[in-house]
Every structure is written in structure tokens, then in C-alpha cells.
Structure 1
Amino acid sequence: MSDRLTPAPKLVWQNDHYTVLVDATLSIVWNVRSGRPFASLEELEAVKAALCHCLDGLGRSRYALLVDVRAAPGRNDPSFEAALERIRPRWLRGFRRVGVLAQSVVGVMQIQRYARQDGIERLITTDESALLRYLTEEG
């Protein structure tokens, strides 16, 4: 995360795949993906269900969501893609704004495809500063 003079985001939930941090000053919830691959689709579904439960408890409409997938292992097999397509709306809806921080242009392109599929507007970039500006803008 970038250097700021504001207090550090607070850890609110973590498992082997995700860390959830809340930056109350900026009104941003961070979902930071680890590099650990999912062992199965069942594990993916269980982890995302727990993640969504955590996000529900925070009050989504109060926050922007920053999803940092820079460390995520690449995967695009059909069963994984289908599971993500079912899960994404539940995960991403309800926030003031959504932004995704990717590692590469290829990652940006994959996430842009996801955005077209599920119709949830989001900024997808490799530039953390630009993403933070977007997520903290009013309107």
C-alpha cells in the first residue's frame, strides 16, 4: 500500500487467500488476494462466501472497494471462470465504487472481460495511486 500520513488500514478479516482491511479515513475496504491457489472449486466457493459475509458486516454502501489481485495466481479454466461469474456480483455489489489493482496488462484485460460479463462498473489498473484517487472521489 502507498505511503500516507493517515492511519494504517485496520485488519478486519484474514484467511490463506484474502486479507480484508478497512481504511476508515479514506472509506475504503481493501480485499488483498494472496498468492495461494485455491485447491478446489469448493474451497473457492467457501472462501468467497466467508469474504462476502465479512463485507456484509461492514456496511458496503459506506465504502469503496479496492480489490488487489496483484499476487493472485493466474487461472482461467472454464470451471473456475464459471464459478467466478456466479460469485462476482455477490462479492462486488453494494459499494460506492469498485477498483481492481492488477499486476499486468494481461491481468487488466482479464478483469475487463469480467466487468463486461457482470455489468459492475469498476476501474481496473496497475496504478495504485490512480486507483486510490478514483475510489476517494465524490460522486
Structure 2
Amino acid sequence: MRLVRTVRSDKPFASLTEFERVFTELGEALDRLDRQRYVILADVRAAPGRNDPDFEAALLRMRPRWLGGFRKVGVLVQTTVGVMQIQRYARQDGIKRLVTIDEAEILRYFAQAD
């Protein structure tokens, strides 16, 4: 199914500059793919919680570089609160995605015909 998986570690970013550098590099690596031919599973279960305004603004700018252009997007989270937060992000950036705590559900979603 041409699956790309990104996994967020539990290590917090030292600064917004570091966050933006890492996500710029991630976007550049993903740009080497023909995104339309791939699905992406973003595993953010270990991500440290953070929702200060500066971080939220940076994340809003970076999400399209990370998730944009893929055939399907699935986001794996740890909690129901995480589901709600990522659904809010989807409304903000307009990138359709399945958000769940169940990896098998994402894989079934990816296997379904477009």
C-alpha cells in the first residue's frame, strides 16, 4: 500500500527554532516521494503535550509540509483527548485524516479503495 510512517519521540523540542528545523527537514525528505502514491501514518502517541500559542502557530504552518499531498493520512494518538486535538487540527488545515487510538483501524482505512 506504499506506507510512510512517521513516529514522534517523547523528547520535547528545545525551542521553536528546533521544531521548525526538524519539520522542515522532514518535509524535504517526504518531498522526495511521490506523495500522491503513498499513505502516511503519523504516530504521535509519545509526543509531549504542548499547546501554547507560539507552538500552535508553528504547528499550523508545518502540518501541510508534513501531511499534505498524501493519498490518505492516518494519525495514531494515545487518548480520546488526543483524538479531539488532532480533529481540531484537521479542521484548521483542511487535510482529511483518520484519527484514532487503534492502529489496526488506520491500516483498514488505508486498505480501502479510494
Tell me if both proteins adopt one fold, taking TM over 0.5 as the criterion. Answer: yes
Task: Tell me: higher relative CO, structure 1 or 2? Use CA pairs within 8 A at least 6 residues apart.
Answer: 2
CA distance in 2, matches of 1:69, 1:45: 17
Shift of 1:136: 2.1
**TM-score, normalised by the number of residues in structure 2:** 0.97
Q: Percent identity?
A: 64
**TM-score, normalised by the number of residues in structure 1:** 0.80
CA distance in 2, matches of 1:58, 1:86: 21
1:58-84 deviation digits (Å, cap 9, x = unpaired): 221110010000011110001000000
The structure richer in strand per residue is 1
1:105-133 deviation digits (Å, cap 9, x = unpaired): 01111101100001110000001100111
Q: Which residue of 1 aligns with 2:17?
A: 42
Unaligned residue ranges in structure 2 (runs of 5+): none
Q: Which residue of 2 aligns with 1:109?
A: 84
Of the candidates 103, 112, 124, which is equivalent to residue 99 of structure 2? Answer: 124
Shift of 1:35: 0.5
Aligned length: 114
Higher alpha-carbon deviation: 32-41 or 56-65: 56-65
Partner amino acid, structure 1, of 2:84:
M
Alignment of 1:84 with 2:59, yes or no, is yes
Higher alpha-carbon deviation: 88-97 or 42-51: 88-97
What's the RMSD between the two structures over aligned residues? 0.8
Q: Which residue of 2 aligns with 1:55?
A: 30
The ranges of structure 1 where at least 4 consecutive aligned residues each deviate by more than 2 angstroms after the TM superposition are none
Unaligned residue ranges in structure 1 (runs of 5+): 1-25
CA distance in 2, matches of 1:63, 1:136: 12
The structure richer in helix per residue is 2
Q: Which residue of 1 aligns with 2:45?
A: 70
